[in-house]
Structure 1
Amino acid sequence: MCLNSLLFFRCLDALVHFKHLTSLIADHNPITENCFLPPLPKLDLLWLNHCKISSLFPWVSKLKESCPNLQHLCLMGNPAAPSYFNGGTFYEYLQYRLFVISQFPSLNHLDDRKVTEDQRAEAQRLYKRPFFERIIKPGSGSFSQLVHSSVTWSGFQNKLTTLLGKDKPNDRNLMI
């Protein structure tokens, strides 16, 4: 029996000693979104398939800080990576894919598919603008103007409703 088959990694903090690591495959481990990932600036391939990652936010942000140069990322089989095989819809899969692409400018492959320029452009359009910037109309002034002006709850709620697409049931934009 192989010793590797008996070892399961719940956290990856021991990788702090491997600053020059370029590839990591840790499939089928009980790794969650709470797992600490040390800075791995040279890591360009990361596979965490069939782990226990159930939430993308804020995990993807932490991953981006730790591994800014990822080119290949595979998260298939995790609850946070919806697909037909784990009960997710095609729409949920697209939202997941575009959100992850928006966080990693150098990503070439996500899961089993190449990242296209169209996907990268759509990811930028959907997820790169800050939340408050999406609420404020472009050209209406700066953030400081919003802070120093009086804002009514109904005005904020109307902007939020428009942003989230509640007034148009067929045109949703999931915020992950």
Structure 2
Amino acid sequence: MQEGHVNNFALNFDSGRLSYCGQDCRRIPAALQKLYGTKTKCLDLSYNTIETLKGLEHFGRLEELILDNNKLGDSVTYPYLPHLRTLSLNNNQISDLEALIEQISERFPSLTYLSLLSNKACPNQLSDFDKDDSDYQRYRYFVIFKLPHLCFLDSRRVFETERREAAVRGEFMRVRRPAADAIHSPTQTYSRSQPQARPLPVDLAALGKHKGAYGKCHYKYTGKHSEGNRFIVNSDL
């Protein structure tokens, strides 16, 4: 799609909810900022190729922001959005958890729901087969410690027992990742039998209807386009 062009057939705006999904946008189209910035409370830009959030500052009334299945990385700058309560960043390219949480803490003071599934920053088996439940729980303690107002993290409610544990141990639960040269070491071997995850085809008919949802499960996102369900091990088929 030509940069800056808006496909009106993919655009949907209703009662403060703006959806523009599956259009291969690398940035937020200027036309959306100009026409809908001051009117939008929920913005869904899922299934694009967004690499920058330049222009998001024009959506000052945002309460819900859904950016699943894009190409957002660690260099992204997030604007100050005082009313934002829900942020969904599933299946992007975020690996630096500390830097992300620092920005969220400073710029989204009202945030109560955050989902980071299928990013390297979220250490579970959706992003890394080597991670297990204990890695994921340490991640939760750290995020809850840094963002004490969260009610949901990924697809799971934040319980009072977690809050108490996070208050005591969360500061020391930073997720450490091996250096890049260690990850790609030529001496490292991999098993041919290791299960490989593959995404299901995108339901193009449902684009524009994507909506994050709160749910209770074992750290799997339970939205209509569940990131937890988009990755199926071959041996399970």
What is the correspondence of 1:1-176 to structure 2 with a 5 Å cutoff?
2=10, 4-5=21-22, 6-7=24-25, 8-86=49-127, 87=129, 88-128=131-171, 174-176=173-175
CA distance in 2, matches of 1:74, 1:26: 10
CA distance in 2, matches of 1:22, 1:62: 17
CA distance in 2, matches of 1:97, 1:121: 12
The sequence identity of aligned pairs, in percent, is 33
Q: Look up the match of 2:202.
A: none
How far residue 91 of structure 1 moved from its aligned partner, in angstroms, is 1.4
CA distance in 2, matches of 1:79, 1:58: 13
TM-score relative to the length of structure 2: 0.52
Tell me how many residue pairs correspond in the alignment: 132
TM-score relative to the length of structure 1: 0.70
5+ long unaligned stretches in structure 1 = 129-172
CA distance in 1, matches of 2:79, 2:174: 27
5+ long unaligned stretches in structure 2 = 1-8, 11-19, 26-48, 176-237
How far residue 4 of structure 1 moved from its aligned partner, in angstroms, is 3.4
How big is each residue's C-alpha offset from its partner over 1:34-56, in whole Å with a ceiling of 9 and x where there is no partner?
21000011000000000000111
Residue identity matched to 2:82: P
Does the aligned pair in 2 maintain the 1:34–1:59 contact within 8 Å?
no
Flag the structure with higher strand content.
2
Task: Give runs of ≥4 in structure 1 deviating > 2 Å.
Answer: 1-4, 173-176
CA distance in 2, matches of 1:175, 1:75: 16
Flag the structure with higher helix content.
1
